[in-house]
A and B are shown apart, each in its own frame.
Chain A
Amino acid sequence: MRVYLVRSATAEGAVDSALSAKGRRRFRRIARAFARLGEPVDQIWTSPALRAIQIAELLNAATLAHDMVDVALELRPGGSPEAVLERLAYEGKGGVVLVGHKRQLAEVAARIVGLSAESVYLKKGAIARLDVRGLPLAEESQEQ
């Protein structure tokens, strides 16, 4: 199973703001570059936050094949990384894209890879790929 981590900004304050025009353009470019890599994506799970949904849909439009966006409450800001890992274990198959928030994704990555969360840093606009083989776990990350 391949897990792709995509970071979405957490909303500041009460209002969940949408991606600005610049943000959408930028992420569309990232999505297209990602699609050109040719990584087969089977599922896209996203946090219910507004920007994350937009990012997930942009990724879906770029990687195509068929519609595969799923809103996963486990990925909400402040959600527990264990819940995400559990869902991955039960439902993850092939290439799974997780669109979530920095802190939680760092925790998820750390647990899969066996590092401490502080040493994991997802750059904005980066898509990190983790190859999960159960035991042992392999890790490989690409930043675009």
Chain B
Amino acid sequence: MIRLYLVRHGAAEDAAAGAPDALRALSLKARRRFHKTARSFGRKLDVILTSPLVRAVQTAEILAGEVKHGALAVLQELAPDQSPEALLKAVSKRAGKAGSVALVGHEPQLSRLLAALAHLPAATAAKLDIRPGAVVRVDVNALPQAKNAEARWWIKSRGRHKGLPFKSEEPRKPAAKKKAAKAKAETASAKKPAPKKTVAPKKAAARKKLAPRKAVPKPEAAAARPAPKPVAPAPVPPPSAAPQKFMGTPRPPGPPQPRPAAPPPVSAPPPPPRAEEKPPDSGNSS
């Protein structure tokens, strides 16, 4: 049995003027987050395979710095423009008899690979979402005709969850921009202006809505493995009003991710009493 760890690189900085996308480096925040994730990894790796792009190589090296590993090599098929079938073939060729292999790559390739490995139906596969900096462990009987692949767990900097990494039903909030502004000032990075400071009440409200991502209650997690999670599959998920505990570090603002189900009303459900001069749409500019 082979243990595959699918690793998605963290948020990358914007490209310098005229520089190609492949050369974009990890943002400082993404590096720190991923250091935490890598430190909590706790297992040996036989091989680390990475996409050739700078942000993936950096992620792979950070992982290599914290985890005992055998070899680290670049696999061209992990680059974002390659097909998952080519990827699967290349992985089985390169991984061979290895017991645990980490694949550092990009979305949507990693999700497609996961869907192919676990033989997920299209509806479930569409709901997969591997977050930036997240690690998904998949136990596979054999490559490439992987039968009975079972997604065991996935972690990101804020926690560990069982089952498949699905899109959360909550809309993403650009929470804690103030903290991000502070972190940027610390690193004395004069390249980008600090992100706009949001009004504090928005942050507090955002925190409440973020919480469900952290805790996956056990019965739900058990159901997640044999069958897809009973989550409302609405492409525009309605925000839940249930107040829940907030745990962990605030979400990265990060570059805006092109999500297929990008909910337009991300900024729509803010609490009404707020002295906000910004037009509602700019709330999505993380």
Tell me, yes or no, whether B204 is within 8 Å of chain A by CB: no
* Interface segment out of the listed B57-65, B157-165, B222-230, B235-243: B57-65
Contact call B23/A54, Cβ cutoff below 8 A:
no
Given known A48-B54, A50-B52, A67-B35, contact A73–B19 (CB-CB < 8 A): yes
Contact call A67/B25, Cβ cutoff below 8 A:
no
Contact call B16/A16, Cβ cutoff below 8 A:
no
Contact call A54/B35, Cβ cutoff below 8 A:
no
Tell me, yes or no, whether B32 is within 8 Å of chain A by CB: yes
Contact call B52/A70, Cβ cutoff below 8 A:
no
CB distance from B126 to the nearest CB of A (A): 34
Contact call B23/A67, Cβ cutoff below 8 A:
no
Complex CA gap A58/B16 in Å reads: 24
Given known A73-B19, A73-B23, contact A57–B52 (CB-CB < 8 A): no
Contact call B28/A18, Cβ cutoff below 8 A:
no
B-side contacts of A16, CB under 8 Å? 52
Complex CA gap A61/B65 in Å reads: 6
A-side contacts of B16, CB under 8 Å? 73
Tell me, yes or no, whether A71 is within 8 Å of chain B by CB: yes
* Interface segment out of the listed B69-77, B130-138, B194-202: B69-77
Contact call A71/B65, Cβ cutoff below 8 A:
no
Residues 59-78 of A at the B interface (beta carbon under 8 Å): 61, 67, 69-71, 73
A-side contacts of B9, CB under 8 Å? none
Given known A16-B52, A67-B35, A73-B23, contact A50–B61 (CB-CB < 8 A): no
Tell me, yes or no, whether B31 is within 8 Å of chain A by CB: yes
Contact call A24/B72, Cβ cutoff below 8 A:
yes
Mask: chain B, 197-226; 1 = CB below 8 Å from A; 0 = not: 000000000000000000000000000000
B-side contacts of A54, CB under 8 Å? 57, 61
Complex CA gap A72/B57 in Å reads: 15
CB distance from B255 to the nearest CB of A (A): 16
Complex CA gap A69/B12 in Å reads: 13
Complex CA gap A67/B187 in Å reads: 9
CB distance from A83 to the nearest CB of B (A): 12
Contact call A70/B31, Cβ cutoff below 8 A:
no
Complex CA gap A71/B15 in Å reads: 11
Contact call B65/A50, Cβ cutoff below 8 A:
no
Contact among B62, B74, B190 with A57 in the assembled complex (CB-CB below 8 Å): B62
A-side contacts of B28, CB under 8 Å? 67
Residues 102-144 of A at the B interface (beta carbon under 8 Å): none
Contact among A21, A57, A61, A73 with B71 in the assembled complex (CB-CB below 8 Å): A21
Mask: chain B, 11-35; 1 = CB below 8 Å from A; 0 = not: 0000010010001010010011001
Identify the closest chain A residue to B65 (Cβ): A61
B-side contacts of A96, CB under 8 Å? none
Identify the closest chain A residue to B50 (Cβ): A18
Tell me, yes or no, whether A53 is within 8 Å of chain B by CB: yes
Complex CA gap A53/B62 in Å reads: 11
A-side contacts of B58, CB under 8 Å? 53, 57, 69
B-side contacts of A73, CB under 8 Å? 16, 19, 23
Complex CA gap A21/B19 in Å reads: 30
9 contacts between A and B (CB under 8 A): A17-B74, A48-B23, A50-B52, A53-B54, A53-B61, A57-B58, A61-B61, A61-B65, A71-B54
Residues of chain B at the chain A interface (Cβ within 8 Å): 16, 19, 23, 25, 28, 31-32, 35, 52, 54, 57-58, 61-62, 65, 71-74, 190
Residues of chain A at the chain B interface (Cβ within 8 Å): 16-18, 21, 24, 48, 50, 53-54, 57-58, 61, 67, 69-71, 73, 91
16 new A-B contacts at CB < 8 Å, known A21-B71, A24-B72, A50-B52: A16-B52, A18-B57, A18-B72, A18-B73, A48-B54, A50-B57, A53-B57, A54-B61, A58-B65, A61-B61, A67-B28, A70-B25, A71-B23, A71-B25, A73-B16, A91-B190
